[in-house]
Structure 1
């Protein structure tokens, strides 16, 4: 029988640590490393049942996918109910969710010092900037997390420094507080094995498709408890009408809660282009020097050449903003490059991007071009088969077959195979980016 034990939960100053002890088949998805989170201020005094939330938020989806039970000494009762709700949502989304129960020696209902604070997961991209604009009267604590897109690897130290510097500058200009969290959650879990095992059953990686809404919000629980946060916001990536299984959505995020705090999936009622419209209004009224950061290649600015940079630049144009003034070097001559890249499959696109380019296409049909190059691009985009473009840019068959073979390989074999696949994929991405 598979099971996972959350053990030895402790807080030493700013550092949270606990042991993860899996048994049975589920053991393949764990590396044996302790689970750690480093906060930027003390979490001593936070009840153990709240300290357990970050680990539970990451472990439970893995347990549910393997029919494993989870055991902990102490659990916040409000969060335990939230987990049951989220499990039911994931069960309705994915056929591989098998169930599993949470067992605790004791549950607690603490009464935190409610100070009416709010917090917002923040990167400075379109979605989180829109959520700040929407909730700026609340003066939310801007919260950034290292451990997913920016890994704990020392090679990513520069990216983390760039992000914290940028978020801190944004906060200082507006008199806001910040919270910076660093975690090894995705190295305590064997995320590579999860990817190999479930990649064929989700549209994306394990974490993006299954775990990141619950996981990222759960990481914030000790910070939120210590700082009196009552409302925790996570910006929506998608919007109404997008039919994709995704680990962060209203059905999941709005159900996440713990003593003193409720979480909110924010901005889902607006498309990405409509969020850029709101940012444009904010730029006009309050923030003439605002720049965004969305690049897939770097954190110290935007390269202006990757798919996401081009897509954001076009979106800014359609909302009446000069992309160059918002951090995206862009000229109308580059519309030809965007078209060539989309038509040639130079960018590896997914269903996310298809919906986002369709959103841009809808707005472009209503917008008067300001140059011949822009007119030609809008006319092409108006009739382009976006579904076919996404299909043609999918991963090569050889990579998909290697990944499929790894799913059923012993861990010792997989540990050799996965770096080979990853190296091949990185090489392809570098070639495509030229």
Structure 2
């Protein structure tokens, strides 16, 4: 029977650590290193039932993909019920997920009125969601469009800004500079507004063998495993000990998509809004606004309170925006449509760039998924209500209104080497995979660095 056991949970100062022991058939999905998360405030007083949440939030979706049961000594009852709700959403979303049961020796519910009691002996966990209102709030924050819009919407709450290292910025030393850049930018943003910050670092993508998970499941999802399946539950779960220690009642995460988009994605209202634990409820924020409407919210904030605001959306670098990737160009065009000058808010941009965007989209230079198709469709909807300001802009808008966005998505594919590597990794013995994959990954990283340096 497939199973994953969480053992030896410890909290020493600001560091959380535990062991993950998978059954033999699941060993290839784990590196063998302890699961570790570091916070910037002591978590020694946090109950074990809350300390286990970060690892459960990241391990359980993988367990559900394999029909595996998960075993822990103790878990917060609210979070156990949340896992059942999230599991139901993910199983409805993805046919390849099989489900599984969480077993705990003890479930802890600090609210006796809920009807839950501490119980001894293994038991399956189920239950109903209940609200837990409060006033202190926090917001997952990177300085991008979605999180900045959420800050603007909730700025009267003075939310703690939470930044996480472990997904788009890994814990590898090569990403140290990116993390320093993100911390510096978020700290400056917070200091200017009298806000607190919280920085979280986790080895989630190395304790779980993320490349091997991709090799097995990338074929079932539009993006990667973490973006398509795990990141809503996973990132929010990493915050649990921090939120408990700080007394955070409401934790917001900015929506990526919006109403009317039914994409298979790891962060949606029917995932994030279910996540909860003792004293904390999570909220999928600004789902009622399209990305262009979120830029409108930011534009109003810029005009009234923050004329020098700079956004950071680039995934290539964290010390500013490269200005030459799909996301940078897409954001720059969106800023123009909301009445802002991109160059004043972090994006090098000129009218001549419109030809560059069209060429890259038509030539399949950028790997686009359904996610990006909806983003460009949103821009196109705004273009219909906009008067171009230059010949270059007019020509681009005319092309965008006429082009079949589905064709742009279908013509973009991951490199053949990536697909072959994943197919091979699904079948090679663990010992061979553990030797060859790091070498191939290092080679691909060097090639990408050289390309970006040109």
TM-score, normalisation: structure 2: 0.92
Report if the CA contact (8 A) 1:70-1:101 is conserved: yes
Report if the CA contact (8 A) 1:171-1:177 is conserved: yes
Task: Please list every run of 5 or more consecutive structure 1 residues that lacks an aligned counterpart in the other structure.
Answer: none
| Residues 28-427 of structure 1 aligned to structure 2 (within 5 Å) | 28-110=28-110, 116-419=135-438, 422=441, 423-424=443-444, 427=447
Report if the CA contact (8 A) 2:9-2:48 is conserved: yes
Alpha-carbon offset, residue 110 of structure 1: 2.7
Report if the CA contact (8 A) 1:346-1:432 is conserved: no
- 3-state SS of the aligned residue for 1:74? strand
Alpha-carbon offset, residue 387 of structure 1: 1.2
Paired residues, number: 434
Matched residues in 2 for 1:46 and 1:296: separation? 34
- 3-state SS of the aligned residue for 2:406? helix
Q: 1:415 to 1:387 in 2, by over 3 A?
A: farther
Report if the CA contact (8 A) 1:28-1:193 is conserved: yes
Q: 1:274 to 1:331 in 2, by over 3 A?
A: same
Matched residues in 1 for 2:216 and 2:433: separation? 11
Q: 1:361 to 1:433 in 2, by over 3 A?
A: farther
Task: Please list every run of 5 or more consecutive structure 2 residues that lacks an aligned counterpart in the other structure.
Answer: 112-131
Matched residues in 1 for 2:274 and 2:326: separation? 33
TM-score, normalisation: structure 1: 0.96
- 3-state SS of the aligned residue for 1:229? coil
Alpha-carbon offset, residue 430 of structure 1: 6.1
Matched residues in 1 for 2:424 and 2:50: separation? 39
How far does the alpha carbon of each residue in 1:98-126 deviate from its partner, in whole angstroms, 9 at most, with x for none?
12111111111136x99721000000000
Report if the CA contact (8 A) 1:200-1:404 is conserved: no
Alpha-carbon offset, residue 401 of structure 1: 3.3
Q: 1:381 to 1:60 in 2, by over 3 A?
A: same
How far does the alpha carbon of each residue in 1:249-273 deviate from its partner, in whole angstroms, 9 at most, with x for none?
1100000000101101111111100
Alpha-carbon offset, residue 71 of structure 1: 0.8
The answer to whether structure 1 residue 14 and structure 2 residue 18 are counterparts is no
Alpha-carbon offset, residue 97 of structure 1: 1.4
Report if the CA contact (8 A) 1:57-1:218 is conserved: yes
Matched residues in 2 for 1:241 and 1:328: separation? 29
Matched residues in 2 for 1:255 and 1:388: separation? 36
Report if the CA contact (8 A) 1:304-1:328 is conserved: yes
Aligned twin of 2:118: none
Matched residues in 2 for 1:419 and 1:225: separation? 37
Q: 1:115 to 1:354 in 2, by over 3 A?
A: closer
Matched residues in 2 for 1:97 and 1:429: separation? 35
Alignment root-mean-square deviation, CA: 1.9
Matched residues in 1 for 2:89 and 2:362: separation? 37
Alpha-carbon offset, residue 337 of structure 1: 0.7
Q: 1:386 to 1:417 in 2, by over 3 A?
A: farther
